[in-house]
């Protein structure tokens, strides 16, 4: 029976690329794999045909011979000839080995150290103007006694005989060849017969270390400062992780921050609100004089430009917003109370309370409408 054309079998044009060939074979291999088709006697035949076609078209020399002479160019004794019984395990392992082995093919496994997180509390002034802080963090660091090798002084790790130092072994399961970490050396590729007394063969020890952290001006709660390589030490020659310092700004007694802007409440006397005046307002870099116009109402907000925060990523400074709150006098003496009553009586005529009149008119209109 004449063999089917390999290009037709893989449903490929004759100018198909190497990637196209591999993709087509992967699709047919999955479709006709015997383990996935136990009740179909023809599946194994189609599977072998696809494998044979892939073996030829994926090899440049064999493909050139096939393109020139067809199946005859693949007979033993001709250039590029091959045996259709070549080991399937290597072909299938090349195609799918990275799926089962996690990409760790043919080399010992090294592991990057874990990243660490540290929460740094700052006062508002420190966050706004920047500061230097020294922090202490617990971490897994490289053992100084053995230099991270895990072996006792005067000895060294030996190559694992099971995996030959690759850290990986091939396991045959049915027709699959799967790569997995070596069970003896746990993927390290080396065996420590005389472990270090300090780290007990781990190559890392837990200890506390001090680090200087430069906090840039303008940071805010939630910002993170990355210290590269200051996390946990890696294993088996892997790189160290990073340390992320997360900023948290404490509440301030006077100011509240929102982005680049600051806000605060400014208490003023009834007299200053009615007649006008000035009041000294604190800022993070000194005091400013705030002018209060006459007839200022409680709740009015005054804006002081460029007295906020310069953002950590640059730009102009924010503003300071001052919320005026009229302070009610306390602990009044009898004479002061009489004066206030006389003053209040004098305000009953002449439209001195516009907000109160507007409110009362609204109340009357509401109840009048309800009765109608």
Per-residue pLDDT of the chain (372 residues; tens, 9 = 90+): 567 888 888 888 988 888 888 888 888 888 888 777 778 878 888 888 888 888 888 888 888 887 877 777 676 544 444 443 343 444 444 444 443 334 444 444 567 888 999 999 999 999 999 999 999 988 888 888 888 888 888 888 888 888 888 878 877 766 666 778 888 887 778 888 888 888 888 888 888 889 999 999 999 999 999 999 998 888 777 888 999 999 999 999 999 999 999 999 999 998 999 999 999 999 998 999 999 999 999 899 999 999 999 999 888 999 999 999 999 889 999 999 999 899 888 887 766 666 665 665 666 666 666 555
277-311 per-position pLDDT tens digit? 999 999 998 999 999 999 999 899 999 999 999 99
Cα–Cα distance measured from residue 88 to residue 174, given in angstroms and rounded to the nearest whole number? 12
| Cα 97-103-107 angle, rounded to 5 deg | 100
Three-state DSSP class for 363? helix
Reported residue count of the chain is 372
DSSP string, 85-128: T--HHHHHHHHHHHHHHTT-TTS---BPPPPEEEEEEE-HHHHH
Token duo for residue 39: 């009740």
- Mark residue 123 as left, alpha or beta (left: phi above 0; alpha: psi -120 to 50; beta: remaining): beta
**Domains of the chain and any CATH numbers:** 6-86 (1.10.287.110), 116-249 (2.10.230.10), 256-326 (2.60.260.20), 334-371 (no CATH)
- Report the chain's terminal Cα–Cα distance, integer Å: 103
Is residue 97 exposed (0-12), middle (13-18) or buried (19+ Cβ within 10 Å)?
buried
**Which tokens belong to 159?**
């190559």
**Nearest-CA neighbor of 243 among 205, 206, 204, 212?**
212
CA 232, 233, 234, 240 dihedral sign is positive
Please check whether residue 306 is in contact with residue 257, taking contact to mean a CB–CB distance below 8 angstroms. no
Say if CB 252 and CB 174 are below 8 A apart. Answer: no
Closest CA to 7 of 70, 94, 69: 70
Element (H, E) at 361: helix 354-371
Q: State both tokens at 122.
A: 């700052």
**E strands, 284-331, where?**
286-292, 301-304, 320-326
CA distance 176 to 174: 6
Give residue 103's pLDDT.
41
**Residue 80: CB partners within 8 Å, gap ≥ 6?**
59, 61, 62, 64, 65, 66, 73, 74
Find the radius of gyration of the CA atoms of the chain.
40
Q: What are phi and psi of 30, to 5 degrees?
A: -70, -35
**Which residues are 207's β-sheet partners?**
139
Strand partners, 320: 262, 304
Residue 69 CA to residue 87 CA, distance in Å, equals: 25
Quote the pLDDT of residue 75.
66
DSSP string, 263-275: EEEEEE-HHHHHH
Give 190-228 pLDDT, tens digit per residue: 888 888 888 888 888 888 889 999 999 999 999 999 999
């Amino acid at each position: 029976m004449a063999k089917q054309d390999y290009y037709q079998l893989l449903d490929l044009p004759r100018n198909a690329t190497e990637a196209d060939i591999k993709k087509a074979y992967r699709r047919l291999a999955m479709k006709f794999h015997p383990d996935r088709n136990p009740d179909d006697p023809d599946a194994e035949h189609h599977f072998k045909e696809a494998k044979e076609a892939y073996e030829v078209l994926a090899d440049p020399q064999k493909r050139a011979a096939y393109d020139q002479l067809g199946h005859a160019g693949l007979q033993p004794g001709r250039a590029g000839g091959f045996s259709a019984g070549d080991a399937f395990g290597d072909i299938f392992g090349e195609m799918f080995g990275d799926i089962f082995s996690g990409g760790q093919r043919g080399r010992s496994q090294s592991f990057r150290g874990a990243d660490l997180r540290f929460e740094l509390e700052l006062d508002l002034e420190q966050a706004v103007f920047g500061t230097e802080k020294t922090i202490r963090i617990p971490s897994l660091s490289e053992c100084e006694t053995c230099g991270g090798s895990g072996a006792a002084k005067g000895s060294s790790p030996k190559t694992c005989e099971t995996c030959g130092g690759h850290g990986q072994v091939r396991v045959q399961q049915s027709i699959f060849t799967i790569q997995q970490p070596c069970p003896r050396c746990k993927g390290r590729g080396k065996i420590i017969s005389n472990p270090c007394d300090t780290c007990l063969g781990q190559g890392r020890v837990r200890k506390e270390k001090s680090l200087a952290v430069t906090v840039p001006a303008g940071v805010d709660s939630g910002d993170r400062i990355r210290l590269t390589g200051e996390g946990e030490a890696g294993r088996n020659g892997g790189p160290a992780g990073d340390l992320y310092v997360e900023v948290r700004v404490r509440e301030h007694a006077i100011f509240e921050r929102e982005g680049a802007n600051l806000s605060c409440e400014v208490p003023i006397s009834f007299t200053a609100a009615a007649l006008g005046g000035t009041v000294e307002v604190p800022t993070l870099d000194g005091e400013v004089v705030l002018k209060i116009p006459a007839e200022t109402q409680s709740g009015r907000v005054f804006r002081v430009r460029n007295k906020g925060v310069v953002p950590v990523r640059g730009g102009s400074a924010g503003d300071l917003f001052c919320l005026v709150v009229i302070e009610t006098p306390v602990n009044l003496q009898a004479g002061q109370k009489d004066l206030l009553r006389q003053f209040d009586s004098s305000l009953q005529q002449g439209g001195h309370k516009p907000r109160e009149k507007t409110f009362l008119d609204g109340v009357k209109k509401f109840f009048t409408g309800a009765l109608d």
